[in-house]
Amino acid sequence: MSASARSLAALLALLPLALPARAQPPAATPEQAKAFVTEVNRDLKRLLARVETAEWIKATYITPDTERNAAEANEGLMAYLSKAIAESLRFRGLKLDPETARMLERLRLSSPLPAPSDAARREKLAATAARLSSLYGRGQWCGEDGKRCRDLGALEDVMRKSRRYDELLDAWAGWHTVGREMKPAYARLVELSNEGAREIGFSDLGELWRAGYDMSPAGFEKETDRLWQQVKPLYDSLHCYVRARLQRLYGKEKVPSDGPIPAHLLGNMWAQEWTNLYPLIEPYKNHASLDVDSALKRQKYDAVKLTRLAESFFTSLGLDPLPKTFWERSMLTKPRDRDVVCHASAWDVTYADDLRIKMCIQGTEEDLITIHHELGHVYYYHAYFQLPVLFQSGANDGFHEAVGDALTLSITPAHLKKIGLLKSAPKDDKALINVQMKDALEKIAFLPFGKLIDQWRWDVFSGKVPPERYNEAWWALRRSYQGVAAPVERTEADFDPGAKYHIPSNVPYTRYFLARILQFQFHRALCRAAGHAGPLHECSIYANQAAGKKLQAMLALGASKPWPEALEAMTGERQIDATALLEYFAPLQGWLDQQNQGRACGWK
């Protein structure tokens, strides 16, 4: 094929899909509803493959052309969904078989960014969404003098390694400038997506997002509040201990005893996980080595070898090896010749087992955990790819995030020793507290951040927080939930939410909060299936195929059943519950209570 013919084919592929012309709507009967969802599943598979291909190219090769390409592909999908969702509403109220009824509801809730029916406004929404994503992907900080430009990866490296207050502040404040240009576009996205949500029967986009959990939107918000109250005492204890240790290093003027922690001191650009502080606050120094990074470097784990190691956990449970195409098509390292979005993500590009991950792997323990997480998505895709497209997702989005993380709970010191990444696996009480502290700095520290991201957006979408209060409201929630504060003065000229990938990319975030709780519930159930009888934190299901069968049975359901049924298939329980998390961290909770005696915990 000549170059010109190939270009023509590419242009034709971007034309929005035209729905079949209908002289008049067919009769609203159960039979017509069933035929309608069959047609929608067929059309969506083709459209989604087109969109995901364009998004993959844009994410792995950021240029104005790939940005425009993705925007046009998304506009075609938005046009189709807008019309299909509107048409589906005529079947509401009919007595339908459960599968058809569920598909219709899944269709109505299918887009996290519903578009207005007006073509011009729909095009504007697609372009705005693409621009926000690319502003984030191209973001960098060039210093006050503009001479030394660093991207997010380089700035995160500073946050991860440095203990110098001013150096951390420069990296933090520098990256947060990326949001300033986004604010007008984000306000436009809120306006247009709310318009699309109202056209399909929701008061705003936040209500649509909360409706996707097999309960009322109001009921779901109460459910997240209930779960937060279950875990808050453990978070508060961890915050109190970490603040006291940071105060030793930076002094009371910078880290006051009764105030929030400055956001740039927690080892992470967003203060969402505090794992990188572990060497600073290790409870028992030099008691037991947990330095997996050094072992990975010493054993020359590159991106492929590290991903193979993660894959071996899944295959040890009896799950399939990754297909050859996964290794051919994934982006595992950052290319030197172009801008890419390094944020790790998992893909089934064609909704037909075209499995990939996109990640800039550097060979750290954090990367090993992240790869397990992303492969959890990949194996979920693989388990349900033969279902109708409307059922090709997790039982709820928290399930999708929890699967890989549940398996990482089996990466115990004993398991790391077994695979050669630790020299020994000590079992005394001091070693246990060290391990649990390291885990808590990731999993417990994250909980309030996971809760507040969408709380902020729900308030924005509803109009409770207007554009002129975006930043003020953001930091009020950061302070209230996390006990974290901006390290320098912020104004409404800043747009600090935009410095977090999921905001400009419009990815709902409550899924991650749910996943941090569900993963322990999954882990407890899989450990029971494996016959484990000891403390939950000692369990590893590695190489246990009975646990693998339990996992596979849940994965294969996709979204074909309400999530309580999928949860019950794995755990025997129908309510998301944090007691497994509290059971897992019971040793650390007792130790923290002792350490915090005499301290004024909490913050003003």
Name every residue whose Cβ is closer than 8 Å to that of residue 427 and which is 6 or more positions away in sequence: none
> How far, CA to CA in Å, does 350 sit from each of 56, 155, 344, 391?
11, 34, 19, 15
Cβ count within 10 A of residue 599: 14
Catalytic option among 344, 473, 569, 586? 344
DSSP state of 598: T
Which residue bears the tokens 């940005």? 67
Question: Per the structure block, which two tokens stand in for 124?
Answer: 């504007």
Spacing of C-alpha 316 from chain mean position:
25
Q: Are 470 and 493 in contact (CB under 8 A)?
A: no
CA atoms within 13 A on the CB side of 22: 10
Active site residue 502: yes
Active-site residue (options: 61, 343, 352, 476):
343
Q: How far, in whole angstroms, is CA 296 from its chain's centroid?
A: 25
Q: Is 391 helix (H, G, I), strand (E, B) or coil?
A: helix
The phi, psi pair for 253, rounded to 5°, reads -65, -35
Q: What DSSP letter does each residue of 97-143 carry, written as one string?
A: -HHHHHHHHHHHT--SSPPPSSHHHHHHHHHHHHHHHHHHHT-EE--
Query: Among 186, 512, 542, 584, which one carries the catalytic annotation?
Result: 512
Task: Give the pairing of strands 484-485 and 261-262.
Answer: parallel
The active-site residue out of 52, 55, 75, 374 is: 374
Specify the pairing of strand 355-358 against strand 345-348: antiparallel
CA 171 to chain centre: 23
CA distances from 538 to 157, 432, 533, 535, 547 (A): 32, 10, 10, 6, 16
Distances (CA, A) of 79 to 65, 75, 89, 427: 21, 6, 16, 58
Residue among 291, 237, 123 at smallest CA distance from 591: 237
Q: In 3-state terms, what secondary structure has residue 581?
A: helix
| Contact in structure between 224 and 448 (CB atoms under 8 Å) | no
Token duo for residue 135? 């502003």
Report residue 75 as tokens.
Answer: 């506009």
Catalytic-labelled residue, pool 221, 365, 401, 442 = 401
Q: Which of 377, 382, 400, 532 is catalytic?
A: 377
3-state secondary structure of 320: coil
Tokens 């209500």 correspond to what residue?
A: 207
8 Å CB contact between 58 and 67? yes
Q: Active site includes 344?
A: yes
Q: Let me know if 509 is a catalytic residue.
A: no
Active site residue 343: yes
Q: Which of 211, 262, 221, 256 shows the shortest CA–CA distance to 107?
A: 211
Closest CA to 389 of 197, 113, 106: 106
Write the DSSP assignment of 217-251 as a string of letters.
HHHHHHHHHHHHHHHHHHHHHHHHHHHHHHHHHH-
Annotated catalytic residue: which of 502, 538, 543, 568? Answer: 502
Distance CA 12, CA 21 (A): 20
Q: How would DSSP label each residue in 343-411?
A: S-EEEETTSSS-EEEE----S-HHHHHHHHHHHHHHHHHHHHTTS-GGG-S-SSHHHHHHHHHHHHTT-
Q: Distance between the two ends of the chain, CA-based, in angstroms?
A: 68
Residue 265 CB neighbour total at 10 angstroms: 26
Q: From the candidates 176, 239, 373, 523, which is the catalytic residue? A: 373
Examine the residue annotation and report whether 377 is marked as an active-site residue of this protein. yes
Question: Per DSSP, what are the bridge partners of residue 347?
Answer: 356
Single-letter amino acid code for the residue at 425: A
Mark whether 373 is an active-site residue: yes
- Residues with catalytic roles: 343-344, 373-374, 377, 401, 502, 512
